[in-house]
Amino acid sequence: MACSPSTPDDILPPPLPEPAPEDLRLDVIMGALADPLRLTIIRKLLLESEAYDHTCGWFGFDRPKSSLTHHFKALREAGLIRQRQYGLERRSRVRTEDVDERFPGLLDLVRAWDASPTRR
């Protein structure tokens, strides 16, 4: 539940609108993950984030900002990530507990995903 070890929830900015845990839909989640870039976002958050939420810029994608907004929004509306506004920055983290509760094992698939691009 905690966002970072030293930051209790009650002083965090509120999350942006997101579906309730019981409203998560497998088909919608699958659709959100049917894209290599978004798969990469989730995987990187799962494997490389160290207890902190991360901004779009942290990922280092070479895409226009408006494209990134689009994909992060898709992930948030599918219920895969939670986003909070910190001043100018919008930081994201995976909703691991909610997703694990509803779809156990799904995030493990993303963790194990072989992200190598042209694998043929």
Partner DNA sequence: CGGGAAGTACGATTCGAGTCGTACTTAGCA
Partner DNA sequence: TGCTAAGTACGACTCGAATCGTACTTCCCG
Contact residues toward DNA (CB under 7 A) are 34-35, 37, 55-57, 63-74, 83, 87-91
Cβ atoms 92, 83 nearer than 8 A: yes
Say which entry of its own copies, DNA, none residue 113 contacts (CB below 5 to 8 A, set by partner kind): its own copies
Question: Across the chain, which distance is largest between two alpha carbons, in Å?
Answer: 47
For residue 22, the minimal CB distance to DNA (Å) is 21
Residue-wise burial string across 12-37, b where 16 or more C-beta atoms lie within 10 A, e elsewhere: beebbebbeeeebeeebbeebbeeee
Cβ atoms of 3 and 79 closer than 8 Å = no
Q: Candidates 4-12, 63-71, 89-97, 106-114 — which segment interacts with its own copies by CB under 8 A?
A: 106-114
Under the binding rule (CB under 8 A), the answer on residue 27 touching its own copies is yes
42 contact choice in its own copies, DNA, none (CB below 5 to 8 Å, kind-dependent): none
Q: Nearest to residue 47, comparing CAs of 104, 103, 111, 2?
A: 111
> Please, which residues bridge with residue 86 across strands?
89
Q: 35 vs 48, which CB is nearer to DNA?
A: 35
Part in contact with its own copies (CB under 8 A); list of ranges 25-33, 60-68, 81-89, 90-98? 25-33
Residues of this chain that interact with its own copies (CB under 8 A) are: 23, 25-28, 30-31, 33-36, 39, 103-106, 108-110, 112-114, 117, 119-120
